[in-house]
Amino acid sequence: MTLLLQLFINGLVQGMPLACLAVGFGLVYRSLKIFHLAMGAEFILTGYILYALMNWFNMGLMSAIPLTIILAVAFGAAIEKGVYLPFFNQKSSAGVTMIASLGVMIIVENVIALIFGNNVKSISTDLEPIYLWHGLKITRIQLIQFLICGICFGGLGYLIHRSKWFKVIWAMGDQPKLVPVMGLPLNTIRLVIMCLAAFMVAVPSVLIGYDVGLEPHTGMSYLLTASVAVFFGGLDRYWAWGIGAICVAILQSVVVWLFSGEWISFVTFAILVFVLLFKPNGLFGVRKRMEEE
């Protein structure tokens, strides 16, 4: 029973960074209608920026993290300005933009592999302290991941529901054509969305990289799990992305308990197929009228 409870807690803790990644994917997918594959590139690049700042420029962890996140947000802005916006202005189809996004992902992944090599790079060189409570274990970095990602996810959710500017971002997902009609700066809003998404990817990337190290080819795996969390929870509710992420992470943990680690990917995507077949709007999705689709 302790084992199951331990795995459940691990799932809960892993769910928070995944919730942030789900926001990074969901914001771009919902508001800009782009299947944001380049998010995988943002995820891996952020970790390697931190590694480079600490190892090449001898920066301390605490001073390197803010600069890493600033550079990661700048990279998100560069993707918008250099790739997504030109395709949007040319009225390219979603498929074309998705291929371009995939291209960004592949280029970044390969450049990182060339510069840093395919070997795993460790940011932290010490074992994390572990906290024990009634036979249950949690490491310090797991706790930090849970708290910081929880604050980021909750904070952005609060802003989206309370702040006028953030409400515009959310509303853009419902009625994208109304934004310019209402005299709002469409390109600026697009840029803000990409920067916010990059921020929400950068925070878990730094924490996960610090926890388990860096490898150039892990971006796609995180991107796909985050997209599953968004569709599982429901695309049109912000909080559902977080619930979806936590559910997926807990299910992945329980799979290990019930069967074996080799079934994690199978179960993750089986959930997605099952939900899309029987609840196309996700578990907490909003049912729309046909004319709203």
Return all residues near 159 (Cβ < 8 A) that are at least 6 apart: 166
Report the residue from 154, 157, 173, 213 that binds other proteins according to the rule CB under 8 A.
213
- What is the per-residue binding string for other proteins in 241-260, x denoting contact by CB under 8 A? -----------xx--xx--x
Report the residue from 55, 63, 119, 163 that binds other proteins according to the rule CB under 8 A.
119
Report the residue from 85, 98, 102, 113 that binds other proteins according to the rule CB under 8 A.
113
Identity of the residue, 97 or 218, whose beta carbon is nearer to other proteins in the bound complex = 218
- What is the per-residue binding string for other proteins in 172-211, x denoting contact by CB under 8 A? ------------------------------------x---
CB of 126 to other proteins, least distance (A): 7
Q: Report how far residue 127's alpha carbon sits from residue 37's, in angstroms, rounded to the nearest whole number.
A: 33
CB of 11 to other proteins, least distance (A): 8
CB of 16 to other proteins, least distance (A): 13
**Per rule CB under 8 A, is residue 10 in the interface with other proteins?**
yes
**Per rule CB under 8 A, is residue 56 in the interface with other proteins?**
no
* Stretch near other proteins under the rule CB under 8 A, chosen from 114-122, 183-191, 193-201, 274-282: 114-122
Q: Report how far residue 175's alpha carbon sits from residue 167's, in angstroms, rounded to the nearest whole number.
A: 12
Report the residue from 12, 98, 264, 267 that binds other proteins according to the rule CB under 8 A.
264
**Per rule CB under 8 A, is residue 102 in the interface with other proteins?**
no
* Stretch near other proteins under the rule CB under 8 A, chosen from 71-79, 123-131, 149-157, 188-196: 123-131
- Cα within 13 Å of Cα(220), Cβ side: 13
SS (H, E, C) the chain: CHHHHHHHHHHHHHHHHHHHHHHHHHHHHHHHCCCCCHHHHHHHHHHHHHHHHHHCCCCCHHHHHHHHHHHHHHHHHHHHHHHHHHHHHCCCCHHHHHHHHHHHHHHHHHHHHHHHCCCCECCCCCCCCEEEECCEEEEHHHHHHHHHHHHHHHHHHHHHHHCHHHHHHHHHHHCCCHHHHCCCCHHHHHHHHHHHHHHHHHHHHHHHHHHHCECCCCHHHHHHHHHHHHHHHCCCCHHHHHHHHHHHHHHHHHHHHHCCHHHHHHHHHHHHHHHHHHCCCCCCCCCCCHHHC
Q: Report how far residue 232's alpha carbon sits from residue 15's, in angstroms, rounded to the nearest whole number.
A: 13
* Stretch near other proteins under the rule CB under 8 A, chosen from 61-69, 92-100, 119-127, 168-176: 119-127
Identity of the residue, 74 or 130, whose beta carbon is nearer to other proteins in the bound complex = 130
Identity of the residue, 97 or 253, whose beta carbon is nearer to other proteins in the bound complex = 253
List of residues contacting other proteins (CB under 8 A)? 3, 6-7, 10-11, 14, 109-110, 113-114, 117-120, 122, 124-128, 130, 137, 139, 208, 212-213, 215-218, 220-222, 252-253, 256-257, 260-262, 264-265
